[in-house]
């Protein structure tokens, strides 16, 4: 029986990785989630710093670019026939580090050693983030090709978000093939964070539809690579609203029960499920559930 | 040539000076230096004007594919796993070869490969991005002389291959890997003028399709059209006679910038089509508008995906030998034919 | 087929270097040695299946053939990836060249069963996903047909010569010495006569069978049988009559027997799912006989003997629709794949001949 599991949190700047991590830590520690604490981590500094912000009605600030926090949480899980007691490793780092992996085409031992059969991934993209880079559109491209040779380009060399997302997945596939084998299907959850910022009429829909509309190339990659990966898509709101710009929400949040705030949306067969247990994506990425048992 | 060699068997740093994994061979843990002297390689491009890639991080454990372009050795990584369709794209300077590639890429980024295909991946996303943003242009001066073996990180503009993986929607288990050439227009022009330049295009004998891009407006215009037609015919002959491309290889004559012609094929295009057919080519003519100047009337990307589909759908087998027994049939019983 | 190595290897490499080709030549030589030195035919059969269908399905990472092929390459190129997800097509190229080399260059009979399997399997396989890969398969098929036909003709060549030697023997005074000289000549003479007689008998039996136009297993004239039934009965009946390897003319006789008297209707194409509707449960034994309890080759590699696999499956499950669906996933051949009745007869013939090759191997 395995005693360890790791989940990589992958995403660019402002993708919502740290807020998610700190929020699920609060749930795990409080015992309000299906994944429960089995003692305290030895090093709580990073998790507590972010958690403190959330409990004070603030989102965690941008993770500095030199930060790489390993986060080892002792956990236990019991549901039906599935049991797990062991250490969950959830490294967190700044989004710039993941962008650097895209740019420099390499990563360090810190990531390499995590790639195993016990490793799952959660890839984050935040709805409505100003860090999202749209793909080149036809009109801009046409202008570029109409410009005489030698004229400086009008657009910067910034990779569109969906291109980076696809590239990360291809790199992860490379690493898993090399370390675990080509037949292994790693679990990769796509987390659309700040789901509360998605237009209301779309919030009760499948998060994959959001991806298809906003990141069509990425969504097609997911659809076409189900043999290579085991994918699931989640819409997550860590506190259920926007602490920064939603009028009165912060007051409501602080005067209520922050530890019960937030929700996750996901599809099981043809049903869209909504749960207040934010560890659902994590538990799925750990391979402890196939979501069908989590339709409450 | 480098002053050392690599422990990895398939790395040719000793011959090319190019490390498979790092911009600087000395940074590679597999590189073994022998001397400090570096010899010049007469065949390589002159120093690129773009910034050299950053020094690799000393603690880097794994290097991923460059993401930019693929050389033939890099492409082997894809090809040894699954059958890849190599598509050669030829044409003079500024006819629209890069437009075609960029247009195909934009169709993919906007999810417009449907209803037939899904985007299933690409190991050269950065390469497509760079081309679409016109951030990579062929520099003046000495052009590279051959298709790169490996991705040369310091010179991502070497003639090389771009990769696109598609999945059929109707047959979910069917995928196709496309390797599309990105070659300087001069290579085409020089092939027309001199047969002795055919050697660097020898890899096209493995092509599953050839796209010959011809400037539509230039072909249509009276003052330029005759020359365009003349040179296109010579190119087709060079391809088979000197490069050795089999004439059963699916060939698409792609007429570019046809939005400027209101998508009407000029008579010379039909003439070229008929000429190619008469030469035994399995040829189609496609009118394309990779980036339309009238997008409300003629959509950008017109003809682009159609070209790829023609090549993929064309099932023209290479000529293969029949059974040829060497032992004579000595009895009538053995000579009954079907 | 080492002389085709460069062209065949292009399916896995656009422009293989001289160094790569040299290494692969050595790998092919190693793999030929491995496959032909084994006591059992399993590896060579697996190699045949891999050439026909590829490694993408039906082969696990730790299967003996995968390990042997990777080892053959790594002996000359240690950095070659071993994961099937990274090297499947290159291994297929290696196996194809190896098989081609065994079939076209080796004189021993190791080549014959796998050549027979290629002839049975390749015509039914869907077109390959790439013209250069299809060329490899076409050339492999041609090489297999050539080898089988050459062997078939050689085996049926009437020899003679020993009778003349017998007539010219010097008779010594010593009886024992005389017998020592005479005996081998007599034996040789009688062997030749026996072989010639066998070849004559084959011709007579086949020609009578063809002339009579009568199915021994159906006990009816062949023209009275439905086209699908005629294909199954004629293919198996003639395959059981011929010496193996069969000549190509025998295949033409099957076609003639099936098509005789049917006119244009005999040329119409019948899909797999249609032809099995014309086969009764009893008929299936013709191509899926109960021959011993050893692992049956079509069960291991359905793509190599697809109709044989289908007949066995239909015997186990009477649900023809379900079997037709399973047929596609197991053999790679569509249930809608169509051929004329004559061509189906030839396919049945080829498969039954291949079965006989393997039955003889097991009995050896």
Those chains having 3 or more beta-carbon pairs within 8 angstroms of chain B are A, C
Per residue, what are the HEC states of C83-119? CHHHHHHHHHHHHHHHHHHHHHHCCCCCHHHHHHHHH
Tokens of B311: 């090549």
- The helix or strand, by DSSP H or E, that contains position B165, with its residue range, turns out to be strand B160-168
Phi-psi region of B111 (alpha: psi -120 to 50; beta: other; left: phi over 0): left
User: Are A146 and B291 within 8 A, CB to CB?
Assistant: yes
Is the per-residue pLDDT at B47 higher than 50? Answer: no
Burial B22-48 (b: 16+ CB within 10 A, else e): bbebeebebbeeeeeeeeeeeebbeee
- C152 closest CA partner among C109, C194, C211, C96: C109
φ, ψ dihedrals at A9, nearest 5°: -100, 110
Enumerate neighbours of A (3 or more CB pairs within 8 A).
B, C
- Look up the ipTM and state it: 0.90
How far from chain centre, in Å, is Cα B65?
19
C132–B contact, CB cutoff 8 A:
yes
Contacts of C83 in chain A (CB under 8 A): 177-178, 181-182
What's the pLDDT tens digit per position in C323-357? 888 999 899 999 999 999 999 999 999 999 999 99
Provide the 10 A C-beta neighbour count for residue B308.
25
Give CA torsion, residues C198, C203, C204, C207, to 10 deg.
160
Q: How close C58 gets to chain A, by Cα (Å)? A: 13
Is the CB of C203 less than 8 angstroms away from the CB of B329?
no
CB A199 within 8 A of CB A128: no
- Does the pLDDT of residue B38 top 90, yes or no? no
Token pair recorded at residue C1: 């087929």
Per-residue confidence (pLDDT) for residue B171, from 0 to 100: 83
CA distances A249 to A26, A52, A202, A263, B301, Å, are: 20, 18, 20, 15, 46
Say which range, A166-175, B198-207, B214-223, C180-189, has the weakest mean pLDDT.
Answer: C180-189
For chain A, the residue count is: 296
Name every residue whose Cβ is closer than 8 Å to that of residue A245 and which is 6 or more positions away in sequence. none
Q: What is the pLDDT of residue B159?
A: 64
Determine whether the interchain pair B76/C135 forms a contact, defined as Cβ–Cβ distance below 8 Å: no
- Closest by CA to B291, choosing from A141, A151, A149, A153, is A141
Q: Which residue has the higher pLDDT, B61 or A285?
A: A285
C78 to chain B, minimum CA–CA distance in Å? 7
Q: Do B325 and C15 lie within an 8 Å CB cutoff?
A: no
Q: What number of other Cβ atoms are within 10 A of residue C174's Cβ?
A: 10
Would you state the structure tokens that stand for residue C82, as one six-digit string? 């071993």
The Cα–Cα gap between C11 and B78 comes to 11
Contacts of B54 in chain A (CB under 8 A): 104
Rounded CA-CA distance B244/B237 in Å is 10
> Residue B68's pLDDT is what?
87
Is C127 within 8 Å of B315 (Cβ atoms)?
yes
- Chain C nearest C-alpha distance from A183 (Å): 7
Q: What's the average model confidence in pLDDT over B165-192?
A: 92
Taking only residues 123 to 152 of chain B, the set having a beta carbon closer than 8 angstroms to any beta carbon of chain A reads: 123, 125-126, 129-130, 132-135, 137
Choose the closest CB to B329 out of C86, C153, C206.
C153
Query: Taking CB atoms and an 8 Å limit, are B109 and A225 in contact across chains?
Result: no
Q: Poorest-confidence range of A45-49, B117-121, B160-164, C70-74?
A: A45-49
Closest chain C residue to B87, measured at CA:
C14
Q: What angle do CA B49, B54, B60 make, to 5 degrees?
A: 150
d(CA C67, CA C61): 8
Q: Among A187-201, A257-271, B41-55, where is mean pLDDT lowest?
A: B41-55
pTM listed for this prediction: 0.84
Mean pLDDT of chain B: 81
Name the H helices within B29-166. Answer: 72-79, 97-109, 125-132
**Looking at residues B245-260, what average pLDDT do you find?**
95
- Tokens 């016990």 sit on residue: A118
Q: Is the pLDDT of residue B113 over 60?
A: yes
Q: How far apart are CA A18 and CA C275, in angstroms?
A: 63
- What would the DSSP string read from start to end of A238-270? SSSS-TTTSTTHHHHHHHS-GGG--EEEEEETT
Q: What is the mean pLDDT of residues A206-220?
A: 95
Owner of token pair 């309890």: C293
User: Which stretches in chain C have pLDDT values below 50?
Assistant: none
Cα(B185)–Cα(B97) distance, integer angstroms: 8
Query: Smallest Cα–Cα separation from A42: which of A69, A9, A5?
Result: A69
Q: Please enumerate, as own/partner, the contacts of C13-21 that have beta carbons within 8 Å and a separation of 24 or more.
A: C13/B72, C13/B76, C13/B79, C13/B80, C13/C90, C14/B72, C14/B75, C14/B76, C14/B79, C14/B86, C14/B179, C14/B203, C14/B206, C15/B72, C15/B147, C15/B202, C15/B203, C15/B206
The CB density around residue C215, as the number of other CB atoms within 10 Å, is: 22
In chain C, what residues touch A178 (CB-CB under 8 Å)?
A: 83
| Position A150 confidence tier, pLDDT thresholds 50, 70, 90 | very low
For C141, residues 6+ apart whose C-beta sits below 8 A from its C-beta are: C118, C119, C122, C123
Does residue B143 surpass a pLDDT of 60? no
| C190 vs A221, residue with greater confidence | A221
Interface residue of A113, A141, A165, A213 to substitute, partner B, most B CBs within 10 Å: A141
pLDDT band at A293 (very low <50, low <70, confident <90, very high): low
Token pair in block for residue C182: 């005479």
Instruction: Please check whether residue C210 touches B, CB under 8 A.
Output: no
Q: Does the beta carbon of B264 lie under 8 angstroms from any beta carbon of chain A?
A: no
Interface of B with A in 88-127 (CB under 8 A): 98-99, 102, 106, 108-111, 113, 118-123, 125-126
Query: Do residues C269 and C219 lie in contact, with contact meaning Cβ atoms separated by under 8 Å?
Result: no
> Cβ of C203 under 8 Å from any chain B Cβ?
yes
Q: CA triplet B40, B43, B47: central angle to 5 degrees?
A: 65
Q: Which residues of C touch A (CB under 8 A)?
A: 61, 83-86
C272 secondary structure, DSSP code: H
Which residues in chain C have Cβ-Cβ distances shorter than 8 Å to A182? 61, 83-86
For the CA atoms of C116, C121, C122, C124, the dihedral, rounded to the nearest 10 degrees, stands at 140
d(CA A248, CA A243): 9
């Amino acid at each position: 029986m395995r005693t360890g599991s790791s989940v990589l949190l992958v995403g660019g700047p402002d993708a919502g990785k740290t807020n998610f991590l700190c929020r699920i830590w609060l749930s795990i520690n409080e015992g309000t989630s299906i994944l429960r604490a089995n003692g305290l981590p030895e090093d709580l500094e990073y998790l507590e710093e972010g958690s403190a912000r959330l409990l004070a009605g603030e989102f965690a600030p941008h993770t500095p670019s030199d930060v790489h926090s390993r986060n080892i949480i002792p956990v236990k899980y019991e549901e039906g026939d599935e049991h797990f007691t062991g250490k969950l490793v959830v490294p967190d780092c700044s989004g710039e580090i993941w962008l650097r992996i895209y740019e420099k085409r390499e990563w360090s031992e810190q990531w390499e050693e995590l790639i195993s059969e016990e490793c799952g991934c959660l890839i984050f993209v935040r709805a409505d983030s100003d860090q999202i880079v749209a793909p080149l559109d036809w009109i801009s491209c046409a202008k570029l090709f109409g410009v005489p040779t030698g004229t400086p380009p009008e657009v910067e060399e910034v990779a569109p978000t969906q291109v980076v997302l696809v590239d990360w997945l291809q790199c992860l596939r490379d690493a898993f093939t090399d370390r675990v084998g080509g037949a292994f299907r790693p679990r990769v959850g796509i987390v659309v964070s700040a789901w509360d910022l998605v237009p209301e009429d779309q919030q009760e829909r499948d998060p994959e539809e959001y991806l298809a509309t906003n990141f069509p190339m990425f969504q097609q990659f997911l659809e076409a690579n189900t043999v290579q990966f085991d994918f699931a898509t989640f819409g997550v709101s860590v506190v259920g609203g926007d602490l920064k710009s939603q009028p009165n929400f912060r007051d409501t949040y602080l005067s209520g029960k922050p530890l019960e705030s937030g929700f996750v949306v996901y599809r099981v067969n043809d049903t869209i499920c909504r749960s207040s247990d934010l560890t659902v994506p994590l538990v799925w990425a750990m391979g402890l559930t196939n979501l069908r048992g989590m339709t409450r | 040539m480098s002053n050392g060699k690599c422990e990895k068997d398939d790395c040719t740093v000793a011959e090319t000076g190019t490390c498979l994994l790092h911009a600087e061979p000395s940074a590679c843990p597999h590189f073994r230096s022998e001397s400090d002297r570096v010899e010049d390689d007469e065949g390589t491009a002159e120093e690129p004007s773009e910034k050299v890639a950053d020094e690799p991080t000393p603690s880097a454990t794994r290097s991923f594919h460059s993401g930019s372009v693929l050389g033939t050795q890099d492409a082997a990584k894809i090809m040894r796993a699954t059958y890849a369709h190599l598509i050669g794209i030829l044409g003079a300077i500024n006819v629209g070869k890069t437009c075609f590639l960029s247009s195909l890429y934009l169709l993919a980024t906007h999810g417009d490969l449907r209803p037939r295909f899904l985007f299933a991946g690409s190991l050269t996303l950065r390469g497509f991005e760079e081309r679409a943003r016109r951030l990579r242009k062929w520099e003046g001066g000495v052009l590279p002389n051959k298709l790169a073996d490996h991705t040369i990180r310091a010179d991502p503009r070497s003639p090389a291959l771009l990769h696109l993986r598609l999945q059929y929607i109707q047959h979910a288990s069917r995928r196709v890997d496309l390797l599309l050439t990105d070659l300087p227009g001069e290579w085409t022009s020089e092939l027309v003028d001199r047969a002795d330049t055919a050697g660097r295009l020898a890899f096209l004998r493995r092509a599953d399709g050839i796209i010959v891009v011809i400037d539509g407006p230039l072909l249509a215009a009276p003052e330029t059209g005759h020359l365009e037609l003349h040179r296109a015919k010579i190119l087709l002959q060079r391809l088979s006679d000197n490069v050795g491309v089999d004439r059963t290889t699916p060939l698409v004559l792609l007429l570019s910038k046809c939005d400027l012609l209101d998508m009407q094929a000029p008579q010379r295009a039909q003439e070229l089509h008929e000429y190619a057919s008469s030469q035994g080519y399995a040829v189609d003519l496609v009118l394309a508008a990779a980036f339309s100047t009238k997008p409300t009337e003629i959509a950008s990307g017109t003809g682009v995906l159609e070209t790829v589909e023609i090549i993929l759908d064309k099932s023209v087998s290479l000529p293969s030998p029949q059974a040829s027994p060497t032992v004579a049939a000595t009895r009538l019983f053995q000579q009954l034919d079907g | 087929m080492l002389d085709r190595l460069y062209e065949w290897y292009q399916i896995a490499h656009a422009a293989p270097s001289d160094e790569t080709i040299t290494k692969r030549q050595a790998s092919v030589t190693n793999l030929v040695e491995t496959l032909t030195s084994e006591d059992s035919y399993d590896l060579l059969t697996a190699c045949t299946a891999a050439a026909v269908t590829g490694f993408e399905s039906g082969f696990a990472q730790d299967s003996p053939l995968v390990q042997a092929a990777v080892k053959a390459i790594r002996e000359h190129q240690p950095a070659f990836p071993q994961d099937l997800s990274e090297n499947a097509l290159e291994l297929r190229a290696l196996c194809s060249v190896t098989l081609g080399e065994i079939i076209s260059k080796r004189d021993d009979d190791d080549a014959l069963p796998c050549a027979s399997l290629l002839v049975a399997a390749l015509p039914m396989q869907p077109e390959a996903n790439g013209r250069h890969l299809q060329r490899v398969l076409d050339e492999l098929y041609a090489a297999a047909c050539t080898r089988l036909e050459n062997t078939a003709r050689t085996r049926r060549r009437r020899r003679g010569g020993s009778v003349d030697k017998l007539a010219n023997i010097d008779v010594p005074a010593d009886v024992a010495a005389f017998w020592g000289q005479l005996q081998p000549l007599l034996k040789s003479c009688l062997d030749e006569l026996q072989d010639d007689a066998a070849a004559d008998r084959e011709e007579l039996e086949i020609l009578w069978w063809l002339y009579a136009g009568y199915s021994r297993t159906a006990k009816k004239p062949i023209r009275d049988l439905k086209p699908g039934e005629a294909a199954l009965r004629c293919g198996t009946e003639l395959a059981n009559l011929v010496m193996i390897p069969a000549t190509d003319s025998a295949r033409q006789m099957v076609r003639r027997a099936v098509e005789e008297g049917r006119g244009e209707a005999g040329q119409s194409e019948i899909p797999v799912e249609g032809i099995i509707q014309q086969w009764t449960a009893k008929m299936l034994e013709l191509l899926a006989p109960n021959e011993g309890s050893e692992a049956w080759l079509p069960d291991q590699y359905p793509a190599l003997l697809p109709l044989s696999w289908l007949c066995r499956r239909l015997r186990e499950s009477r649900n023809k629709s379900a079997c037709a669906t399973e047929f596609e996933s197991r053999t790679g051949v569509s249930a809608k794949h169509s051929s004329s009745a004559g061509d189906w007869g030839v396919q049945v013939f080829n498969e039954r001949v291949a079965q006989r090759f393997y039955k003889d191997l097991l009995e050896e």
